[in-house]
Structure 1
Amino acid sequence: MLHANQALPSFIEYLQIEKNCSHYTIESYQRDIEEFVLFMTEQGMKSIDSVEYFDARLFLTKLYERNLSKRTVARKTSCLRSFYKFLMREGLVKENPFSLVSLPKKDQKLPRFLYEEELNQLFSSLELESPMGLRDAALLELLYATGIRVSEGCDIKLQDLDFSLGTVLVHGKGKKDRYMPLGQYAKDALASYIQDGRATVMTSQAKSHPFLLINFRGDPLTPRGVRYILTAIIKKAANNIELHPHMLRHSFATHLLNNGADLRTVQELLGHSKISSTQIYTHVTKEQLRKVYNASHPRA
């Protein structure tokens, strides 16, 4: 008889070493499995190989009774399906009770993005006289120029930048690195920040580390810090724009497609492993075309 908690460490090790999952993903998987273990305890099931298809269905029913979103239920189901697939590979169970459980269709929400006029409004509101103002400009230009995730931006080191080639080395999800091109606006903003902003703060605070983005104390900037900075920029620029960090990534992809970039190129730039993850942006561009048509055509 094998308890789930006995198999969990091996599964976590598999996610870390073989699947190269991020720390966030591993924590999420662990919470989902621990939640299922609690369900097993409540149902009087002591061994993971005693779980059957109907038990898996009952677990999903319990999730729906808590009014969880389809996306959350799908994630938990997928996690347990992967867990049992691993257990079967290791010869610890004979069947995967979640293999026949259908995943609920996720509510597809179109990614929200900023129009070019709104972005120009943000850029023009920046104050470039202070070290932190230069940092804010570099941050905004970097996120929009590359479409990188905020966590990827916080991981960038000075040596990852190549101004002669106009590229930045990005360390993506699953330990997948990619080189991203930098436009002239981003290169100029980053150069000014590094020379006149970052260097000033690092000297005054007597700090020394290789991370590109820093806070006013000279410490590496965190994703939470980025959210705080973007909120402050919005308050200065216009109160009618709601901005979260991922909207700059959405704007990057949407504007590329709107201006003729092909889907495969955008997939590579975003660091998506599957093109299906990128295809959602085609829905955005189609929606934009529909809106323009309805607003412009005399007989729309």
Structure 2
Amino acid sequence: MTAEPAFGAFFEMLAAERNAAANTLAAYRRDLEDVAGFLTARRGSLAQASADDLRAYLGRLADNDLSPRTQARRLSALRQFYRFLVEDGRRQDDPTAALDAPKLGRPLPKLLSEEEMSALIEVCRGLDGAEGARLLAMIELLYATGLRVSELVRMPVAVMLRDQPFLTVKGKGGKERLVPLNPPAKAALAAYLEHRPRFLREGQASSFLFPSRGKEGHLTRQRFGQMLKEIGLKAGIDPARISPHVLRHAFATHLLDHGADLRSLQKMLGHADIATTQIYTHVQQERLKSLVEAHHPLAKAGKSTSRKR
């Protein structure tokens, strides 16, 4: 039985039983037709394809430098198609059961350069009043410690009652860790504490370092994210590139740039597995590669030669 007659029934099932959108159906059709074209050229068919046939197709995708995500999407379409053929009695076996999904890898985190972080902080220093003092303190604290935004907004005010070079942070799973607090962050926090009563409800105390009159009792992560984008715009940074987590990434990457070791960074970030921390070494490698390609004279000469050809 050829694959083409099964296409209609397969797409009807997706539309009726899974309520697939038109764009989804079109994407599945393109993917399956691409596989069918490959198999036809090999004098085969989609309906009768073996695991080796499909493995050869996925190998061709990899040879053509299609991204792992595109390869995974094509394989997903194939899995659903053959599952339908088996359930509908059109085929006895599923050839995709023996196929391994391509490794997607982990996307590199977004981050800001040291110059962009300096610009962000300078803009904050130019702000007046309690709002400006709070925002500067939060940004200095994030950049000095690499806190998660949830740890930042829920930080108890008690951690600031004693003048210490380290903060005790309670992270995921209630695990505590020590993070260093640099002089700029300490100065910004001291200045903010003078304004902190302005953010309290009248006649009420709060255990949070960054209290709010809202129902959460502290400044929310969403509001802080909005404030960051607003200040980023004033600093000439695309708002799409900035978030609380981007500041955490900047902390980690800039520390590595200045000689910090991975184990120390793992402890400061509160990562349970050092493999999570190692993503920042890949960031370094990509930045060095981009730097060489952009500025090294031999790299530029190579590009000029290739263009002449």
Q: Do the two structures share a fold, i.e. TM-score over 0.5?
A: yes
5+ long unaligned stretches in structure 1: 1-38, 40-66, 71-99
The question of whether the paired residues in 2 share the 8 Å contact of 1:138 and 1:189 is answered with: yes
Determine which of 238, 241, 245 is the counterpart of 1:240: 238
Give the secondary structure class of the aligned counterpart of 2:265: helix
Structure 2 Cα separation of the partners of residues 272 and 150 of structure 1? 15
CA offset at residue 163 of structure 1? 4.8
TM-score scaled by length of structure 1? 0.62
Written as runs of structure 1 = structure 2, the 5 A alignment for 1:33-48 is none
Larger Rg: 2
Give the secondary structure class of the aligned counterpart of 1:170: strand
TM-score scaled by length of structure 2? 0.60
In structure 2, what is the equivalent of residue 110 of structure 1?
Answer: 108
In structure 1, what is the equivalent of residue 133 of structure 2?
Answer: 134
Determine which of 199, 203, 211 is the counterpart of 2:208: 211
The question of whether the paired residues in 2 share the 8 Å contact of 1:161 and 1:169 is answered with: no
Structure 2 Cα separation of the partners of residues 286 and 247 of structure 1? 18
Structure 2 Cα separation of the partners of residues 68 and 296 of structure 1? 32
**Structure 1 residues 184 and 216: alpha-carbon distance in aligned structure 2, compared to 1, 3 A threshold:** farther
The question of whether the paired residues in 2 share the 8 Å contact of 1:141 and 1:189 is answered with: yes
In structure 1, what is the equivalent of residue 228 of structure 2?
Answer: 230
**Structure 1 residues 293 and 69: alpha-carbon distance in aligned structure 2, compared to 1, 3 A threshold:** closer
CA offset at residue 101 of structure 1? 10
Structure 2 Cα separation of the partners of residues 108 and 199 of structure 1? 43
The question of whether the paired residues in 1 share the 8 Å contact of 2:157 and 2:208 is answered with: yes
Structure 1 Cα separation of the partners of residues 233 and 227 of structure 2? 10
The question of whether the paired residues in 2 share the 8 Å contact of 1:156 and 1:169 is answered with: no
5+ long unaligned stretches in structure 2: 1-17, 19-68, 73-97, 300-309
Structure 2 Cα separation of the partners of residues 101 and 245 of structure 1? 39
**Structure 1 residues 216 and 239: alpha-carbon distance in aligned structure 2, compared to 1, 3 A threshold:** farther
Give the secondary structure class of the aligned counterpart of 1:165: coil
The question of whether the paired residues in 2 share the 8 Å contact of 1:145 and 1:252 is answered with: yes
Structure 2 Cα separation of the partners of residues 265 and 101 of structure 1? 40
Structure 1 Cα separation of the partners of residues 168 and 101 of structure 2? 36
**Structure 1 residues 244 and 299: alpha-carbon distance in aligned structure 2, compared to 1, 3 A threshold:** same
In structure 2, what is the equivalent of residue 89 of structure 1?
Answer: none
Give the secondary structure class of the aligned counterpart of 2:178: strand
CA offset at residue 245 of structure 1? 1.3
**Structure 1 residues 179 and 207: alpha-carbon distance in aligned structure 2, compared to 1, 3 A threshold:** same
2:202 is matched by which residue type in structure 1? Answer: Q
In structure 2, what is the equivalent of residue 145 of structure 1?
Answer: 144
In structure 1, what is the equivalent of residue 184 of structure 2?
Answer: 185
Written as runs of structure 1 = structure 2, the 5 A alignment for 1:245-256 is 245-256=244-255
2:279 is matched by which residue type in structure 1? Answer: I
In structure 2, what is the equivalent of residue 173 of structure 1?
Answer: 172
Structure 1 Cα separation of the partners of residues 139 and 71 of structure 2? 32
Quote the sequence identity (%). Answer: 40
The question of whether the paired residues in 2 share the 8 Å contact of 1:157 and 1:212 is answered with: yes
Structure 2 Cα separation of the partners of residues 217 and 189 of structure 1? 24
2:272 is matched by which residue type in structure 1? Answer: S
Give the aligned length: 208
